[in-house]
Amino acid sequence: MEKGKILIIDDDPLICDLLSGILKNIKGCTTDTAVDGLDGIEKIQKDKYDIVFTDLQMPRLSGMDFLRAAKKIEPATPVVVITGCSSIEGAINAMKEGASDFVTKPFRIDEINSIVDRLISERRLFSKITENADYDKIVKGLNLELFKRLQEISILHTISTELDKIYDNREIFERIVEMASRLLKVKEASFGIVENGNLKIKRAIGTRERTIPISGTLFEHVINKRDYYLASFGEVNPHSGPPLTSPFFSIPFIIKGEVFGILNLANKADGSEFTEDEISIALTLAKKAALRIENNALYELFYNNLINTLKSLVITIEARDSYTMQHSERVTGFALEIAEVMKIAEDEKDAIRFGGYLHDIGKISVRDTVLLKPGKLTDEEMKEIRLHPVIGYNIIEPIGSFKSERLLIRNHHENFNGRGYPDGLAGDKIPLICRILAVADTYDAMTSTRPYRKALSHKAAINELQRCSGTQFDGEVARAFLQTAAGRGRSVI
Ligand SMILES: [Fe+2]
Protein backbone atom coordinates (compact mmCIF):
# COMPACT_ATOMS: atom_id res chain seq x y z
CA MET A 1 0.00 0.00 0.00
CA GLU A 2 1.35 3.44 -0.92
CA LYS A 3 1.96 5.78 2.00
CA GLY A 4 -0.32 8.81 2.18
CA LYS A 5 -0.39 12.30 3.57
CA ILE A 6 -2.94 12.72 6.31
CA LEU A 7 -4.36 15.71 8.18
CA ILE A 8 -5.65 15.22 11.73
CA ILE A 9 -7.96 17.91 13.16
CA ASP A 10 -8.66 17.77 16.89
CA ASP A 11 -8.63 20.32 19.70
CA ASP A 12 -7.24 17.64 22.01
CA PRO A 13 -3.46 17.45 21.40
CA LEU A 14 -3.37 13.99 22.98
CA ILE A 15 -5.72 12.61 20.30
CA CYS A 16 -3.67 14.31 17.56
CA ASP A 17 -0.47 12.76 18.91
CA LEU A 18 -1.97 9.33 19.36
CA LEU A 19 -3.54 9.12 15.90
CA SER A 20 -0.53 10.70 14.30
CA GLY A 21 1.70 8.11 16.01
CA ILE A 22 -0.43 5.22 14.73
CA LEU A 23 -0.48 6.56 11.18
CA LYS A 24 3.25 7.36 11.08
CA ASN A 25 4.58 4.25 12.80
CA ILE A 26 2.23 1.61 11.53
CA LYS A 27 1.14 2.92 8.15
CA GLY A 28 4.24 4.98 7.39
CA CYS A 29 2.09 7.98 6.48
CA THR A 30 3.09 11.65 6.68
CA THR A 31 0.82 13.53 9.08
CA ASP A 32 -0.11 17.10 9.79
CA THR A 33 -2.37 18.40 12.57
CA ALA A 34 -4.86 21.24 13.03
CA VAL A 35 -6.41 22.44 16.31
CA ASP A 36 -9.95 23.13 15.04
CA GLY A 37 -12.14 23.34 11.94
CA LEU A 38 -10.93 26.78 10.85
CA ASP A 39 -7.32 25.72 11.20
CA GLY A 40 -8.20 22.60 9.18
CA ILE A 41 -9.71 24.65 6.36
CA GLU A 42 -6.58 26.79 6.13
CA LYS A 43 -4.49 23.61 5.91
CA ILE A 44 -6.52 21.99 3.10
CA GLN A 45 -6.48 25.25 1.14
CA LYS A 46 -2.67 25.33 1.25
CA ASP A 47 -1.88 21.64 0.91
CA LYS A 48 -3.16 18.41 -0.68
CA TYR A 49 -4.06 15.56 1.68
CA ASP A 50 -5.00 11.96 0.91
CA ILE A 51 -7.26 11.69 3.96
CA VAL A 52 -8.49 14.11 6.64
CA PHE A 53 -9.42 12.83 10.11
CA THR A 54 -11.55 15.33 12.05
CA ASP A 55 -13.08 15.50 15.50
CA LEU A 56 -16.73 16.59 15.56
CA GLN A 57 -16.85 18.86 18.62
CA MET A 58 -14.31 21.63 18.38
CA PRO A 59 -14.21 25.38 19.19
CA ARG A 60 -14.57 28.05 16.45
CA LEU A 61 -15.66 25.63 13.70
CA SER A 62 -17.18 22.20 14.42
CA GLY A 63 -16.19 19.03 12.58
CA MET A 64 -19.54 18.99 10.76
CA ASP A 65 -19.07 22.56 9.50
CA PHE A 66 -15.51 21.71 8.49
CA LEU A 67 -16.83 18.70 6.57
CA ARG A 68 -19.36 20.81 4.64
CA ALA A 69 -16.72 23.42 3.79
CA ALA A 70 -14.10 20.78 2.87
CA LYS A 71 -16.52 19.09 0.46
CA LYS A 72 -16.72 22.39 -1.42
CA ILE A 73 -12.99 23.13 -1.39
CA GLU A 74 -11.63 19.61 -2.03
CA PRO A 75 -14.59 17.36 -2.88
CA ALA A 76 -12.36 14.38 -3.71
CA THR A 77 -10.50 14.34 -0.40
CA PRO A 78 -12.01 11.73 1.93
CA VAL A 79 -12.93 12.95 5.41
CA VAL A 80 -13.11 10.50 8.33
CA VAL A 81 -14.82 11.70 11.49
CA ILE A 82 -13.48 10.89 14.94
CA THR A 83 -16.20 10.19 17.44
CA GLY A 84 -16.74 8.85 20.95
CA CYS A 85 -18.71 5.59 21.32
CA SER A 86 -21.56 7.59 22.82
CA SER A 87 -21.97 9.85 19.78
CA ILE A 88 -22.37 7.39 16.92
CA GLU A 89 -25.40 9.37 15.80
CA GLY A 90 -23.10 12.32 15.03
CA ALA A 91 -20.95 10.02 12.93
CA ILE A 92 -23.97 8.78 11.00
CA ASN A 93 -25.08 12.37 10.31
CA ALA A 94 -21.55 13.13 9.12
CA MET A 95 -21.69 10.17 6.72
CA LYS A 96 -24.94 11.59 5.33
CA GLU A 97 -23.11 14.90 4.76
CA GLY A 98 -20.39 13.15 2.75
CA ALA A 99 -17.89 11.77 5.31
CA SER A 100 -16.18 8.65 3.96
CA ASP A 101 -16.04 6.78 7.26
CA PHE A 102 -15.74 7.22 11.02
CA VAL A 103 -13.47 5.96 13.79
CA THR A 104 -14.45 5.66 17.41
CA LYS A 105 -12.40 6.56 20.45
CA PRO A 106 -10.55 4.71 21.94
CA PHE A 107 -8.87 3.85 18.63
CA ARG A 108 -8.54 0.33 17.33
CA ILE A 109 -5.43 -0.05 15.24
CA ASP A 110 -6.94 -2.67 12.87
CA GLU A 111 -9.92 -0.39 12.24
CA ILE A 112 -7.68 2.58 11.37
CA ASN A 113 -5.50 0.31 9.24
CA SER A 114 -8.36 -0.91 7.09
CA ILE A 115 -9.93 2.55 6.72
CA VAL A 116 -6.64 4.10 5.61
CA ASP A 117 -5.87 1.22 3.22
CA ARG A 118 -9.29 1.42 1.60
CA LEU A 119 -9.42 5.21 1.25
CA ILE A 120 -5.87 5.55 -0.07
CA SER A 121 -6.36 2.85 -2.69
CA GLU A 122 -9.65 4.43 -3.78
CA ARG A 123 -7.95 7.81 -3.99
CA ARG A 124 -5.02 6.46 -6.02
CA LEU A 125 -7.43 4.78 -8.45
CA PHE A 126 -9.49 7.94 -8.74
CA SER A 127 -6.35 10.06 -9.36
CA LYS A 128 -5.14 7.66 -12.02
CA ILE A 129 -8.42 7.95 -13.85
CA THR A 130 -8.86 11.71 -13.54
CA GLU A 131 -5.22 12.53 -14.30
CA ASN A 132 -5.22 10.35 -17.38
CA ALA A 133 -5.77 12.11 -20.70
CA ASP A 134 -7.88 9.13 -21.83
CA TYR A 135 -10.31 9.67 -18.98
CA ASP A 136 -13.38 9.05 -21.18
CA LYS A 137 -11.85 5.94 -22.65
CA ILE A 138 -11.02 4.51 -19.22
CA VAL A 139 -14.51 5.20 -17.89
CA LYS A 140 -16.02 3.59 -20.99
CA GLY A 141 -13.73 0.59 -20.50
CA LEU A 142 -14.69 0.27 -16.85
CA ASN A 143 -18.36 0.56 -17.74
CA LEU A 144 -17.99 -2.13 -20.36
CA GLU A 145 -16.27 -4.36 -17.82
CA LEU A 146 -19.06 -3.65 -15.34
CA PHE A 147 -21.68 -4.44 -17.97
CA LYS A 148 -19.93 -7.71 -18.76
CA ARG A 149 -19.82 -8.67 -15.09
CA LEU A 150 -23.51 -7.84 -14.72
CA GLN A 151 -24.27 -10.01 -17.73
CA GLU A 152 -22.27 -12.86 -16.20
CA ILE A 153 -24.11 -12.51 -12.89
CA SER A 154 -27.39 -12.53 -14.77
CA ILE A 155 -26.35 -15.67 -16.71
CA LEU A 156 -25.29 -17.44 -13.54
CA HIS A 157 -28.57 -16.47 -11.91
CA THR A 158 -30.48 -17.87 -14.90
CA ILE A 159 -28.49 -21.13 -14.72
CA SER A 160 -29.25 -21.48 -11.02
CA THR A 161 -32.96 -20.75 -11.27
CA GLU A 162 -33.46 -22.94 -14.36
CA LEU A 163 -31.65 -25.93 -12.85
CA ASP A 164 -33.23 -25.56 -9.42
CA LYS A 165 -36.65 -26.19 -10.95
CA ILE A 166 -35.66 -29.57 -12.44
CA TYR A 167 -35.75 -32.83 -10.52
CA ASP A 168 -35.51 -35.25 -13.41
CA ASN A 169 -31.94 -36.01 -14.47
CA ARG A 170 -32.86 -36.61 -18.13
CA GLU A 171 -34.40 -33.18 -18.21
CA ILE A 172 -31.27 -31.73 -16.59
CA PHE A 173 -29.05 -33.28 -19.31
CA GLU A 174 -31.33 -31.79 -21.95
CA ARG A 175 -31.31 -28.35 -20.32
CA ILE A 176 -27.52 -28.36 -19.80
CA VAL A 177 -26.88 -29.01 -23.48
CA GLU A 178 -29.46 -26.46 -24.53
CA MET A 179 -28.17 -23.77 -22.13
CA ALA A 180 -24.49 -24.38 -22.91
CA SER A 181 -25.03 -24.26 -26.68
CA ARG A 182 -27.03 -21.04 -26.31
CA LEU A 183 -24.65 -19.30 -23.88
CA LEU A 184 -21.44 -20.24 -25.68
CA LYS A 185 -23.00 -19.99 -29.15
CA VAL A 186 -21.83 -23.37 -30.43
CA LYS A 187 -23.27 -25.48 -33.23
CA GLU A 188 -22.28 -28.79 -31.59
CA ALA A 189 -23.06 -29.68 -27.97
CA SER A 190 -23.46 -32.98 -26.17
CA PHE A 191 -23.69 -34.40 -22.70
CA GLY A 192 -22.67 -37.98 -21.96
CA ILE A 193 -22.43 -40.30 -18.98
CA VAL A 194 -19.20 -42.17 -18.28
CA GLU A 195 -20.10 -45.86 -18.15
CA ASN A 196 -17.98 -49.02 -18.59
CA GLY A 197 -15.21 -47.29 -20.50
CA ASN A 198 -17.63 -45.47 -22.78
CA LEU A 199 -19.15 -42.04 -22.95
CA LYS A 200 -22.86 -42.61 -23.51
CA ILE A 201 -24.15 -39.42 -25.12
CA LYS A 202 -27.57 -38.84 -23.57
CA ARG A 203 -28.38 -35.56 -25.26
CA ALA A 204 -26.87 -33.86 -28.30
CA ILE A 205 -27.40 -30.83 -30.49
CA GLY A 206 -25.66 -30.74 -33.89
CA THR A 207 -24.20 -34.21 -33.36
CA ARG A 208 -25.47 -37.76 -32.82
CA GLU A 209 -26.55 -39.37 -29.54
CA ARG A 210 -24.33 -42.46 -29.43
CA THR A 211 -21.82 -44.39 -27.35
CA ILE A 212 -18.17 -43.35 -27.76
CA PRO A 213 -15.32 -45.55 -26.44
CA ILE A 214 -13.26 -43.31 -24.13
CA SER A 215 -9.86 -44.98 -24.60
CA GLY A 216 -7.49 -42.94 -26.74
CA THR A 217 -9.78 -39.89 -26.95
CA LEU A 218 -9.45 -36.54 -25.26
CA PHE A 219 -12.14 -37.77 -22.84
CA GLU A 220 -9.43 -39.92 -21.24
CA HIS A 221 -7.50 -36.76 -20.38
CA VAL A 222 -10.63 -35.09 -18.93
CA ILE A 223 -11.37 -38.13 -16.75
CA ASN A 224 -7.80 -38.72 -15.54
CA LYS A 225 -7.06 -35.06 -14.79
CA ARG A 226 -10.61 -34.31 -13.60
CA ASP A 227 -10.23 -31.05 -15.46
CA TYR A 228 -11.56 -29.42 -18.62
CA TYR A 229 -9.76 -29.82 -21.93
CA LEU A 230 -9.60 -27.42 -24.83
CA ALA A 231 -8.63 -29.40 -27.91
CA SER A 232 -6.66 -27.67 -30.64
CA PHE A 233 -7.11 -27.74 -34.39
CA GLY A 234 -5.90 -31.01 -35.87
CA GLU A 235 -6.70 -33.15 -32.80
CA VAL A 236 -9.30 -35.84 -33.36
CA ASN A 237 -12.92 -34.76 -33.01
CA PRO A 238 -14.28 -37.38 -30.58
CA HIS A 239 -17.83 -36.67 -31.73
CA SER A 240 -17.22 -37.62 -35.34
CA GLY A 241 -13.60 -38.81 -35.86
CA PRO A 242 -11.92 -36.44 -38.35
CA PRO A 243 -9.33 -33.81 -37.28
CA LEU A 244 -10.82 -30.77 -35.62
CA THR A 245 -11.25 -27.66 -37.71
CA SER A 246 -12.72 -25.63 -34.86
CA PRO A 247 -12.14 -25.56 -31.05
CA PHE A 248 -13.55 -28.47 -28.99
CA PHE A 249 -14.20 -27.88 -25.31
CA SER A 250 -14.77 -30.80 -22.90
CA ILE A 251 -15.88 -30.20 -19.30
CA PRO A 252 -16.09 -32.92 -16.64
CA PHE A 253 -19.06 -33.26 -14.29
CA ILE A 254 -17.63 -34.34 -10.98
CA ILE A 255 -19.52 -35.91 -8.09
CA LYS A 256 -17.60 -36.97 -4.99
CA GLY A 257 -14.28 -36.64 -6.80
CA GLU A 258 -15.29 -38.86 -9.75
CA VAL A 259 -16.05 -37.78 -13.30
CA PHE A 260 -19.50 -39.17 -14.04
CA GLY A 261 -20.34 -37.14 -17.12
CA ILE A 262 -18.80 -34.88 -19.76
CA LEU A 263 -20.23 -31.82 -21.49
CA ASN A 264 -18.77 -31.19 -24.94
CA LEU A 265 -19.01 -27.93 -26.82
CA ALA A 266 -17.63 -27.45 -30.31
CA ASN A 267 -17.86 -25.50 -33.53
CA LYS A 268 -18.57 -21.94 -32.42
CA ALA A 269 -21.10 -20.25 -34.64
CA ASP A 270 -18.73 -17.36 -35.47
CA GLY A 271 -15.69 -19.64 -35.81
CA SER A 272 -13.88 -17.94 -32.92
CA GLU A 273 -11.94 -19.48 -30.00
CA PHE A 274 -13.54 -19.94 -26.57
CA THR A 275 -12.89 -16.85 -24.45
CA GLU A 276 -11.92 -16.91 -20.77
CA ASP A 277 -15.38 -15.63 -19.85
CA GLU A 278 -17.07 -18.40 -21.83
CA ILE A 279 -14.86 -21.04 -20.21
CA SER A 280 -15.73 -19.65 -16.80
CA ILE A 281 -19.48 -19.71 -17.59
CA ALA A 282 -19.29 -23.31 -18.85
CA LEU A 283 -17.37 -24.41 -15.76
CA THR A 284 -19.92 -22.74 -13.48
CA LEU A 285 -22.74 -24.39 -15.39
CA ALA A 286 -21.05 -27.79 -15.01
CA LYS A 287 -20.43 -27.28 -11.30
CA LYS A 288 -23.97 -26.13 -10.63
CA ALA A 289 -25.54 -28.92 -12.71
CA ALA A 290 -23.35 -31.60 -11.09
CA LEU A 291 -24.47 -30.38 -7.68
CA ARG A 292 -28.09 -30.47 -8.83
CA ILE A 293 -27.70 -34.03 -10.14
CA GLU A 294 -26.03 -35.10 -6.88
CA ASN A 295 -28.85 -33.54 -4.87
CA ASN A 296 -31.41 -35.30 -7.05
CA ALA A 297 -29.65 -38.62 -6.50
CA LEU A 298 -29.63 -38.04 -2.75
CA TYR A 299 -33.29 -37.02 -2.83
CA GLU A 300 -34.17 -40.12 -4.86
CA LEU A 301 -32.26 -42.31 -2.39
CA PHE A 302 -34.03 -40.68 0.54
CA TYR A 303 -37.41 -40.95 -1.25
CA ASN A 304 -36.91 -44.62 -2.14
CA ASN A 305 -35.74 -45.49 1.36
CA LEU A 306 -38.73 -43.72 2.82
CA ILE A 307 -41.16 -45.43 0.46
CA ASN A 308 -39.62 -48.83 1.18
CA THR A 309 -39.84 -48.24 4.93
CA LEU A 310 -43.47 -47.18 4.68
CA LYS A 311 -44.28 -50.05 2.33
CA SER A 312 -42.82 -52.46 4.88
CA LEU A 313 -45.11 -50.91 7.45
CA VAL A 314 -48.12 -51.41 5.15
CA ILE A 315 -47.10 -55.03 4.53
CA THR A 316 -46.96 -55.51 8.31
CA ILE A 317 -50.46 -54.08 8.68
CA GLU A 318 -51.82 -56.21 5.86
CA ALA A 319 -50.15 -59.31 7.29
CA ARG A 320 -52.42 -58.99 10.35
CA ASP A 321 -55.40 -59.44 8.09
CA SER A 322 -54.98 -62.22 5.54
CA TYR A 323 -58.11 -61.03 3.76
CA THR A 324 -56.54 -57.75 2.82
CA MET A 325 -53.13 -59.05 1.78
CA GLN A 326 -51.86 -56.99 -1.15
CA HIS A 327 -54.99 -54.86 -1.01
CA SER A 328 -52.95 -51.65 -1.18
CA GLU A 329 -50.94 -52.89 -4.13
CA ARG A 330 -54.07 -53.86 -6.07
CA VAL A 331 -55.83 -50.58 -5.22
CA THR A 332 -52.80 -48.60 -6.40
CA GLY A 333 -52.77 -50.58 -9.65
CA PHE A 334 -56.50 -49.99 -10.30
CA ALA A 335 -56.17 -46.29 -9.44
CA LEU A 336 -53.24 -45.87 -11.82
CA GLU A 337 -55.25 -47.51 -14.60
CA ILE A 338 -58.09 -45.05 -14.00
CA ALA A 339 -55.56 -42.18 -13.92
CA GLU A 340 -54.26 -43.37 -17.29
CA VAL A 341 -57.75 -43.37 -18.83
CA MET A 342 -58.50 -39.93 -17.35
CA LYS A 343 -55.12 -38.62 -18.59
CA ILE A 344 -54.27 -36.91 -15.30
CA ALA A 345 -50.96 -35.13 -14.75
CA GLU A 346 -47.79 -37.13 -14.10
CA ASP A 347 -47.23 -35.63 -10.64
CA GLU A 348 -50.75 -36.73 -9.65
CA LYS A 349 -49.97 -40.23 -10.88
CA ASP A 350 -46.82 -40.13 -8.72
CA ALA A 351 -48.99 -39.17 -5.75
CA ILE A 352 -51.19 -42.23 -6.42
CA ARG A 353 -48.10 -44.44 -6.84
CA PHE A 354 -46.82 -43.46 -3.39
CA GLY A 355 -50.04 -42.57 -1.56
CA GLY A 356 -51.97 -45.55 -2.92
CA TYR A 357 -49.73 -47.99 -1.10
CA LEU A 358 -50.10 -46.02 2.10
CA HIS A 359 -53.80 -45.14 1.99
CA ASP A 360 -54.68 -47.51 4.84
CA ILE A 361 -51.50 -46.96 6.87
CA GLY A 362 -53.64 -45.49 9.67
CA LYS A 363 -55.13 -48.96 10.26
CA ILE A 364 -52.04 -49.63 12.35
CA SER A 365 -54.00 -48.01 15.16
CA VAL A 366 -57.05 -50.28 14.80
CA ARG A 367 -57.15 -53.17 17.27
CA ASP A 368 -57.02 -56.73 15.90
CA THR A 369 -60.33 -57.52 17.61
CA VAL A 370 -61.94 -54.78 15.53
CA LEU A 371 -59.94 -55.16 12.32
CA LEU A 372 -60.46 -58.93 12.20
CA LYS A 373 -63.96 -59.09 13.70
CA PRO A 374 -66.04 -61.57 11.71
CA GLY A 375 -69.42 -60.08 12.68
CA LYS A 376 -71.06 -56.71 12.41
CA LEU A 377 -69.13 -53.81 13.99
CA THR A 378 -70.64 -51.84 16.87
CA ASP A 379 -70.92 -48.06 16.58
CA GLU A 380 -67.85 -47.67 18.78
CA GLU A 381 -65.85 -50.09 16.63
CA MET A 382 -66.98 -48.34 13.48
CA LYS A 383 -65.79 -45.04 14.97
CA GLU A 384 -62.40 -46.62 15.62
CA ILE A 385 -62.11 -47.86 12.03
CA ARG A 386 -63.17 -44.48 10.72
CA LEU A 387 -60.25 -42.82 12.45
CA HIS A 388 -57.73 -44.53 10.16
CA PRO A 389 -57.60 -41.83 7.39
CA VAL A 390 -56.74 -39.10 9.91
CA ILE A 391 -54.27 -41.29 11.79
CA GLY A 392 -52.59 -42.19 8.47
CA TYR A 393 -52.48 -38.50 7.54
CA ASN A 394 -50.84 -37.71 10.88
CA ILE A 395 -48.25 -40.48 10.41
CA ILE A 396 -47.13 -38.98 7.06
CA GLU A 397 -47.44 -35.33 8.12
CA PRO A 398 -44.01 -35.00 9.82
CA ILE A 399 -42.33 -35.83 6.49
CA GLY A 400 -43.32 -32.32 5.42
CA SER A 401 -43.61 -32.72 1.65
CA PHE A 402 -46.00 -35.10 -0.15
CA LYS A 403 -49.03 -32.85 0.26
CA SER A 404 -51.09 -34.69 -2.39
CA GLU A 405 -50.19 -38.07 -0.91
CA ARG A 406 -51.26 -36.91 2.53
CA LEU A 407 -54.62 -35.76 1.15
CA LEU A 408 -55.02 -39.07 -0.64
CA ILE A 409 -54.62 -40.86 2.69
CA ARG A 410 -56.92 -38.46 4.52
CA ASN A 411 -59.74 -38.23 1.99
CA HIS A 412 -60.01 -41.66 0.37
CA HIS A 413 -63.27 -42.37 2.24
CA GLU A 414 -65.04 -39.15 1.26
CA ASN A 415 -68.26 -39.65 -0.70
CA PHE A 416 -69.12 -37.62 -3.80
CA ASN A 417 -72.39 -36.53 -2.10
CA GLY A 418 -70.53 -35.27 0.99
CA ARG A 419 -71.61 -38.14 3.27
CA GLY A 420 -68.17 -39.71 3.64
CA TYR A 421 -65.49 -39.17 6.27
CA PRO A 422 -63.44 -37.65 7.90
CA ASP A 423 -64.06 -34.16 6.44
CA GLY A 424 -67.42 -34.62 4.72
CA LEU A 425 -66.08 -33.10 1.49
CA ALA A 426 -68.31 -33.24 -1.61
CA GLY A 427 -67.94 -33.10 -5.41
CA ASP A 428 -64.94 -31.18 -6.73
CA LYS A 429 -63.90 -30.31 -3.17
CA ILE A 430 -62.62 -33.89 -2.94
CA PRO A 431 -59.23 -33.98 -4.73
CA LEU A 432 -59.52 -35.97 -7.99
CA ILE A 433 -56.89 -38.52 -6.91
CA CYS A 434 -58.99 -39.23 -3.79
CA ARG A 435 -62.12 -39.75 -5.91
CA ILE A 436 -60.11 -42.13 -8.10
CA LEU A 437 -58.74 -44.05 -5.13
CA ALA A 438 -62.22 -44.32 -3.61
CA VAL A 439 -63.47 -46.22 -6.69
CA ALA A 440 -60.38 -48.46 -6.83
CA ASP A 441 -60.51 -49.13 -3.07
CA THR A 442 -64.20 -49.98 -3.03
CA TYR A 443 -63.97 -52.23 -6.09
CA ASP A 444 -61.13 -54.19 -4.49
CA ALA A 445 -62.91 -54.38 -1.13
CA MET A 446 -66.07 -55.70 -2.82
CA THR A 447 -64.20 -58.32 -4.84
CA SER A 448 -62.16 -59.53 -1.83
CA THR A 449 -63.43 -61.97 0.77
CA ARG A 450 -63.74 -60.20 4.13
CA PRO A 451 -64.11 -61.61 7.64
CA TYR A 452 -67.83 -60.83 7.54
CA ARG A 453 -68.74 -61.76 3.92
CA LYS A 454 -67.61 -63.54 0.78
CA ALA A 455 -66.20 -61.70 -2.23
CA LEU A 456 -68.66 -60.29 -4.74
CA SER A 457 -68.29 -61.27 -8.37
CA HIS A 458 -66.79 -58.73 -10.76
CA LYS A 459 -70.20 -58.18 -12.34
CA ALA A 460 -71.92 -57.61 -8.99
CA ALA A 461 -69.18 -55.19 -7.94
CA ILE A 462 -69.51 -53.22 -11.18
CA ASN A 463 -73.30 -53.08 -10.75
CA GLU A 464 -72.78 -51.70 -7.24
CA LEU A 465 -70.29 -49.10 -8.53
CA GLN A 466 -72.77 -48.00 -11.18
CA ARG A 467 -75.59 -47.90 -8.67
CA CYS A 468 -73.59 -45.63 -6.39
CA SER A 469 -72.28 -43.42 -9.21
CA GLY A 470 -72.96 -39.76 -8.49
CA THR A 471 -73.73 -40.45 -4.81
CA GLN A 472 -70.87 -42.37 -3.22
CA PHE A 473 -68.58 -42.09 -6.27
CA ASP A 474 -67.77 -39.51 -8.90
CA GLY A 475 -69.66 -40.78 -11.99
CA GLU A 476 -66.87 -39.71 -14.32
CA VAL A 477 -64.30 -41.73 -12.34
CA ALA A 478 -66.60 -44.78 -12.21
CA ARG A 479 -67.05 -44.58 -16.00
CA ALA A 480 -63.27 -44.31 -16.46
CA PHE A 481 -62.85 -47.43 -14.33
CA LEU A 482 -65.14 -49.37 -16.68
CA GLN A 483 -62.68 -48.63 -19.49
CA THR A 484 -59.69 -50.08 -17.62
CA ALA A 485 -58.58 -53.70 -17.88
CA ALA A 486 -59.70 -54.31 -14.28
CA GLY A 487 -63.01 -52.56 -14.93
CA ARG A 488 -63.58 -54.83 -17.93
CA GLY A 489 -62.95 -57.85 -15.69
CA ARG A 490 -59.36 -58.50 -16.75
CA SER A 491 -57.20 -57.83 -13.72
CA VAL A 492 -53.66 -56.77 -14.58
CA ILE A 493 -52.33 -57.66 -11.13
FE1 LIG B 1 -59.24 -47.09 3.93
Q: Is the pLDDT of residue 401 over 90?
A: no
335 and 280 within one domain: no
CA–centroid distance, 437 to ligand 1, in Å, is 10
Task: Give the pLDDT score at 492.
Answer: 46
Q: Is 491 inside any structural domain?
A: no
CA–centroid distance, 122 to ligand 1, in Å, is 72
Q: Is the pLDDT of residue 466 over 90?
A: yes
Residue 135's pLDDT band (cuts 50, 70, 90): low
126 and 175 within one domain: no
Q: What is the pLDDT of residues 51-78, one digit of tens each?
A: 999 998 888 888 899 999 998 888 888 8
372 and 429 within one domain: yes
Boundary residue ending a domain (131, 150, 180)? 131
169 and 114 within one domain: no
Q: Is 266 inside any structural domain?
A: yes
438 and 345 within one domain: yes
275 and 182 within one domain: yes
* Range in 104-113, 210-219, 318-327 with the lowest mean pLDDT: 318-327
CA–centroid distance, 438 to ligand 1, in Å, is 9
Q: What is the CATH number of the domain that holds 125?
A: 3.40.50.2300
* Range in 234-248, 262-276, 335-349 with the lowest mean pLDDT: 234-248
* Range in 42-46, 94-98, 188-192, 300-304 with the lowest mean pLDDT: 300-304
Give the number of domains in the chain.
3
Boundary residue ending a domain (274, 291, 308)? 291
pTM exceeds 0.75, yes or no: no
Q: Is 378 inside any structural domain?
A: yes
Residue 132's pLDDT band (cuts 50, 70, 90): low
CA–centroid distance, 367 to ligand 1, in Å, is 15
Phi/psi at 200 (5° precision): -90, 105
Q: Is 147 inside any structural domain?
A: no
CA–centroid distance, 444 to ligand 1, in Å, is 11
CA–centroid distance, 445 to ligand 1, in Å, is 10
Q: What is the CATH number of the domain that holds 452?
A: 1.10.3210.10
374 and 421 within one domain: yes
Q: Is 139 inside any structural domain?
A: no
Q: Is 156 inside any structural domain?
A: no
CA–centroid distance, 301 to ligand 1, in Å, is 28
Phi/psi at 434 (5° precision): -75, -40
CA–centroid distance, 136 to ligand 1, in Å, is 77
CA–centroid distance, 10 to ligand 1, in Å, is 83
211 and 110 within one domain: no
Boundary residue ending a domain (247, 272, 291)? 291
184 and 120 within one domain: no
CA–centroid distance, 451 to ligand 1, in Å, is 16
Residue 25's pLDDT band (cuts 50, 70, 90): confident
Q: Is 339 inside any structural domain?
A: yes
CA–centroid distance, 321 to ligand 1, in Å, is 14
Are 256 and 295 spatial neighbours (Cβ–Cβ below 8 Å)?
no
99 and 43 within one domain: yes
CA–centroid distance, 47 to ligand 1, in Å, is 90
Domain with 99, as residue range(s), is 5-131
Q: What is the CATH number of the domain that holds 265?
A: 3.30.450.40
CA–centroid distance, 427 to ligand 1, in Å, is 19
Q: Is 310 inside any structural domain?
A: no
CA–centroid distance, 130 to ligand 1, in Å, is 79
478 and 342 within one domain: yes
476 and 337 within one domain: yes
